[in-house]
């Protein structure tokens, strides 16, 4: 499909592209040709007002009609065919197989929420009346859920499909009955437009109000501020850095009416390699950790950033295996020049931190490619140097060598909130694993045993969130069917006749 370079505002493609911005092909290390509009204040206003106008009609649709809409979006995304795959690869530098897999995940997420709607989007709680109760009669009360209203979603840099235009935030908001105003990520505007075209086609096919979805393009940061401060926006979904997330949170805090901000921010995803497990096969665990770190060139929010071992007989063999594996890794393409520069600057900075030693570099490439790196340090240095707890977005990890097993618990005590943590243990480690698991569970959103953290299963039982700074709301998930609850609120109906009750609350 042809690209317009414009914003999709309630069914209309609008915007001035002549002086707009262009995306960048990180693999070819050159700018692309299509220019994209910077949305004006008036266009942003129009999109949000249109979404609010569409809210009541859309929220009153039956669960089946919303499910059909989600399924139709998925069908229209698949209908984009190779154009979508080639465009996403060009804008991100990600390989074709990764984009094809991510497209499947995106369509699968839409199907997950469609199935949820068909099976009952929430569990009704019904307390029937008891007129004979003493000393006062008991009223009929029924607990249900309502959609919040207009939801603003910000696309992620590292998942151009699954956490972007029709990704999990959009899918769960639409499933809940909330119109969406999407702010596309500037790293992949063409991919965003193609998916927006698919959503627009689905809106037409399902005969919905065009205000149900709008796509906002633009490099101007003022766009983001305008969106999150707008009084008609009732919730915000964001996946990105802690720095940008906190800026958005500060803007939201200035609003007269507080609204929920569901931000997925930074995570170092610590890996605890217990002594008996390390002794079994130090090379195998080293190779597994390096392979996980290298997935997506380290640009996964679940990338294993810190590896903990108890210093002992197998430490030297483990480090040697890590070194050999890292040195075999080719330099790779990152998502954008800005991301690559930040990564390279951070790696250079770590080399100057007292108490931190470089263990290995990956193979060197051209200046626009990223070189893998693994460092080592002690627990004392990790605790003293606060920056070591910050996520490094890229293929870098830090080995923390503990002098004894008790230091693993000290590490957990000092740890900030994370999306995940893994305990790698043998049978002989089970007692120590149990000691770790109790406090560690309170620091993460997903606790893993003998598996790597990369890869997030899209299913009803998944939790993708965690204590701050992993996310801004520890009680929510951005992946899985529970994500719909972020964009709903409870409501109790008391003594209402059946004709006025939602279908799920009727006898």
Encoding tokens for residue 398?
């830090």
Angle between helices 63-79 and 189-205 (to 10 degrees): 130
Active site residue 301: yes
Judged on CB neighbours under 10 Å (0-12, 13-18, 19+), 108 is: middle
d(CA 242, CA 236): 15
| Catalytic option among 43, 121, 264, 407 | 264
- Contact of 493 with 501, CB cutoff 8 Å: yes
Helices (H), 385-463: 406-414, 430-441
Instruction: Report the Cα 465 to chain-centroid distance in Å.
Output: 8
CA dihedral 389, 393, 396, 399 (to 10 degrees): 20
CA 106, chain centre distance (Å): 12
Angle between helices 189-205 and 82-92 (to 10 degrees): 150
Q: What span, in angstroms and rounded, lies between the C-alpha atoms of 330 and 326?
A: 9
Contact 299, 273 (CB under 8 A): no
Q: Which of 301, 319, 391, 407 is catalytic?
A: 301
Sheet holding 373-378, edge to edge: 357-361, 373-378, 396-402, 306-310, 271-273, 418-424, 444-449
**Whether residue 407 lies in the annotated active site:** no
In this structure, what token pair is assigned to residue 297? 């060139």
- Determine contact, residues 229/100, Cβ cutoff 8 Å: no
Residues annotated catalytic, as ranges: 264, 301
């Amino acid at each position: 499909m042809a690209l317009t370079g414009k914003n999709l505002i309630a069914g209309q493609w609008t915007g001035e592209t002549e002086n707009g911005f262009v995306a960048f092909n990180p693999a070819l290390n050159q700018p692309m040709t299509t220019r994209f509009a910077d949305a004006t204040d008036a266009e942003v206003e129009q999109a949000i007002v249109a979404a609010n106008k569409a809210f009541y009609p859309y929220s009153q649709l039956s669960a089946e009609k919303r499910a059909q809409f989600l399924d139709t979006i998925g069908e229209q995304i698949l209908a984009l065919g190779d154009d979508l795959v080639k465009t996403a690869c060009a804008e991100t530098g990600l390989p074709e197989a990764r984009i094809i897999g991510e497209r499947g995940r995106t369509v699968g997420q839409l199907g997950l929420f469609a199935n949820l709607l068909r099976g009952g989007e929430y569990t009704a709680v019904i307390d029937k009346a008891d007129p004979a109760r003493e000393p006062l009669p008991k009223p009929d009360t029924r607990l249900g859920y309502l959609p919040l209203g207009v939801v603003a979603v910000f696309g992620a840099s590292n998942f151009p499909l699954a956490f972007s235009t029709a990704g999990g935030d959009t899918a769960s908001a639409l499933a809940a009955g909330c119109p969406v105003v999407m702010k596309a990520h500037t790293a992949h505007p063409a991919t965003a437009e193609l998916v927006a075209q698919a959503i627009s086609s689905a809106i037409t096919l399902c005969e919905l109000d065009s205000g149900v979805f709008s796509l906002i393009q633009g490099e101007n940061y003022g766009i983001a501020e305008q969106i999150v401060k707008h009084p008609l926006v009732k919730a915000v979904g964001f996946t990105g850095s802690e720095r940008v997330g906190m800026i958005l949170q500060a803007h939201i805090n200035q609003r007269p009416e507080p609204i929920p901000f569901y931000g997925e921010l930074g995570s170092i995803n610590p890996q605890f390699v217990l002594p008996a497990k390390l002794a079994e096969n130090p090379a195998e665990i080293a190779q597994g950790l390096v392979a996980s770190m290298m997935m997506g060139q380290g640009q996964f929010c679940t990338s294993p950033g810190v590896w903990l071992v108890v210093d002992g007989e197998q430490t030297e063999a483990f480090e040697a295996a890590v070194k050999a594996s890292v040195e075999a890794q080719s330099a790779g393409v990152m998502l954008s020049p800005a991301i690559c520069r930040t990564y390279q600057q951070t790696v250079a900075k770590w080399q100057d931190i007292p108490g931190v030693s470089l263990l290995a570099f990956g193979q060197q490439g051209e200046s626009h490619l990223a070189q893998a790196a693994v460092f080592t340090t002690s627990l004392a240095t990790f605790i003293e140097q606060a920056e070591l707890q910050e996520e490094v977005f890229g293929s870098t990890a830090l080995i923390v060598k503990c002098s004894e097993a008790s230091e693993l618990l000290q590490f957990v005590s000092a740890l900030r909130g994370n999306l995940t943590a893994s305990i790698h243990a043998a049978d002989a480690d089970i007692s120590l694993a149990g000691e770790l698991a109790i406090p560690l569970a309170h620091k993460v959103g997903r606790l893993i045993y003998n598996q790597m953290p990369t890869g997030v299963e899209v299913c009803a039982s998944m939790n993708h969130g965690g204590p701050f700074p992993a996310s801004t709301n520890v009680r929510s998930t951005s992946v899985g069917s529970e994500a719909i609850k972020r964009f709903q609120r409870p409501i109790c109906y008391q003594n209402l006749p059946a004709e006025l009750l939602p279908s799920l609350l009727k006898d």
